[in-house]
């Protein structure tokens, strides 16, 4: 739907729709194709899994479309197929999301199926055990995946005793312990009006959407009952942890504390990450690690604004005998950026890429609806899509140098390595 990349202001197309029952959504009407895309989200996610039951949010996401109301799992999916309706759910560390896509002529059936999934899930034994088995299979696969092992070890080391230290999809032990009552309790605690964000893009007007909002979301509880999660900083920075695995190539994960997306320096941090390792072919890490020295096929960095512990992170995979050199270069580039800031040319390249590629986030109705939900979650305001590129473009070298010192500090990292790296030892903080 290329029509969703308009020349006019994106923000000017957003309508705030409030239902008679007080349910609010952001709407962009678009009648170019007869489709409706709806995205919704609730705060919570895997961080709200009960103690000893990591994986509840993931299991719930897998089960809400596996039978609801009068329809068992088979009948539910047959009805979705009959009307070409897409309904799915997902979870991450901080949130729980829902997705709907339908042809306008099947609007009534689609909203009815979403209503049933959110309000009357059946949690029948057969699909429950099937979804549990799927998650178990995924966890087992990860136990033999060096990248997954390095990532899991990083979070376990960084967040001992904190929900972020738990595997978001659960472990073999916790998945086995999850009961039907755990799923019912999580849904009742987390899926509620007070943290609900909704965005709709497509061939529907505000009056019609208002009616559907109350039908679908009205029956949910008014207030969530989330457990308080402490805000923390990652532990073990300055540590190198090696997980022995007899493989020819090691997987490396590195990171430290980052900057929240509600911080005044957030957009400067976006630019800095692009320069360091987010820009792929144009980034320092790609240039120094792969292009100049051929140490690794891929190397990258990212910033992760988790609600309770924002991070900057990165990773690579390389031959065991080249881990030490690769890690040394990565640490040197981070330290250099923190000490001296970026060069004018790389700052200009990063800003041009970030501003030029931004509208690609809105080139389908689903992408646009998803972005609108995230903007609501981050409290950025309806005009953010119009303001964002200006915020990126206005970043100066002086600002970037200042924030680089703040973001990367002395360049110390928590590093986890899975493999048998040569010439490198585990280091304790």
* 8 Å CB contact between 349 and 355: no
Q: Tell me, what's the pLDDT at 280?
A: 72
> Phi and psi for 143 in degrees, rounded to 5?
-65, -15
Which pLDDT value is given to residue 349? 96
Q: What is the pLDDT of residues 350-409, one digit of tens each?
A: 999 999 999 899 989 999 999 999 999 999 999 999 999 999 999 999 999 999 999 999
Q: 397 is written with which tokens?
A: 């070298």
**Measured between alpha carbons, how far is 336 from 342 in angstroms, rounded to an integer?**
9
For 137, other C-beta atoms within 10 Å of its C-beta total 10
Query: What pLDDT does 1 receive?
Result: 38
Going residue by residue through the chain (429 aa), what tens digit of pLDDT does each one get? 344 444 458 789 999 999 999 999 999 999 999 999 999 999 999 999 999 999 999 999 999 999 999 999 999 999 999 999 999 999 999 999 999 999 999 999 999 999 999 999 999 999 999 999 999 999 999 998 999 999 999 999 999 999 999 999 999 999 999 999 999 999 999 999 999 999 999 999 999 999 999 999 999 999 999 999 999 999 999 999 999 999 999 999 999 999 999 999 999 999 999 999 997 788 999 999 998 899 998 999 999 999 999 999 999 999 999 999 999 999 999 999 999 999 999 999 999 999 999 989 998 999 999 999 999 999 999 999 999 999 999 999 999 999 999 999 999 999 999 999 998 877 665
Per-residue pLDDT tens for 260-312? 999 999 999 999 999 999 977 889 999 999 988 999 989 999 999 999 999 99
For the chain, how long is the longest CA-to-CA vector?
67
Q: Look at residues 59, 314, 60 and name the one whose alpha carbon lies nearest to residue 171.
A: 59
Q: How many CA atoms lie within 13 A of 49 on its CB side?
A: 32
Residue 8: predicted pLDDT:
59
With beta carbons less than 8 A apart as the criterion, state whether 195 and 224 touch.
yes
Domains of the chain: 2-217 (3.30.830.10), 240-419 (3.30.830.10)
| DSSP secondary structure of 408-423 | HTT---EEEEEE--TT
Name the β-bridge partners of 35.
103
Q: Distance from first CA to last CA of the chain, Å, rounded? A: 51
């Amino acid at each position: 739907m290329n029509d969703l990349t308009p020349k006019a202001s994106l923000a000017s197309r957003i309508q705030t729709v409030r239902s008679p029952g007080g349910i609010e959504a952001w709407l962009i009407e678009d009648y170019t194709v007869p489709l409706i895309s709806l995205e919704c989200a609730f705060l919570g996610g895997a961080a709200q899994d009960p103690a000893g039951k990591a994986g509840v949010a993931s299991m719930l996401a897998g089960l809400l479309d596996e039978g609801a109301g009068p329809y068992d799992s088979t009948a539910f999916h047959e009805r979705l197929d009959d009307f070409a309706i897409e309904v799915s759910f997902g979870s991450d560390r901080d949130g729980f999301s829902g997705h709907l896509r339908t042809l306008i002529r099947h609007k009534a059936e689609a909203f009815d199926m979403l209503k049933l999934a959110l309000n009357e899930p059946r949690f029948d034994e057969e699909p429950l055990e099937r979804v549990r088995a799927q998650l178990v299979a995924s966890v087992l696969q990860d136990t033999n995946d060096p990248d997954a092992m390095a990532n899991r070890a990083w979070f376990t080391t960084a967040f001992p005793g904190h929900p972020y230290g738990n595997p978001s999809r659960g472990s073999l032990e916790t998945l086995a312990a999850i009961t039907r009552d755990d799923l019912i309790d999580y849904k009742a605690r987390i899926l509620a009006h007070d943290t609900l964000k909704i965005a709709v893009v497509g061939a529907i007007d505000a009056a019609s959407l208002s009616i559907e909002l109350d039908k679908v979301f009205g029956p949910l509880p008014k207030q969530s009952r989330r457990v308080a999660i402490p805000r923390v900083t990652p532990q073990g920075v300055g540590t190198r942890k090696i997980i022995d695995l007899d493989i020819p190539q090691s997987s490396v994960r590195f990171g430290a504390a980052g900057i929240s997306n509600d911080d005044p320096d957030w957009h400067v941090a976006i630019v800095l990450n692009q320069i360091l390792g987010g820009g792929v072919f144009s980034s320092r890490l790609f240039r120094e690690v792969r292009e100049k020295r051929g140490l690794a096929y891929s190397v990258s960095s990212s910033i992760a604004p988790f609600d309770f512990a924002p991070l900057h992170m990165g990773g690579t995979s390389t031959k065991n005998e080249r881990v030490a050199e690769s890690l040394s270069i990565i640490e040197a580039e981070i330290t250099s950026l923190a000490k001296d800031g970026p060069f004018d040319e790389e700052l200009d390249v990063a800003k041009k890429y970030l501003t030029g590629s931004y509208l690609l986030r809105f080139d389908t109705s689903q992408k646009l609806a998803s972005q609108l939900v995230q903007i609501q979650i981050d409290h950025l305001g309806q005009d953010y899509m119009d303001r964002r590129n200006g915020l990126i473009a206005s970043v100066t070298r002086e600002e970037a140098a200042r924030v680089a010192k703040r973001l990367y500090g002395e360049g110390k990292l928590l590093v986890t390595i899975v493999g048998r790296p040569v010439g490198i030892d585990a280091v304790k903080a």
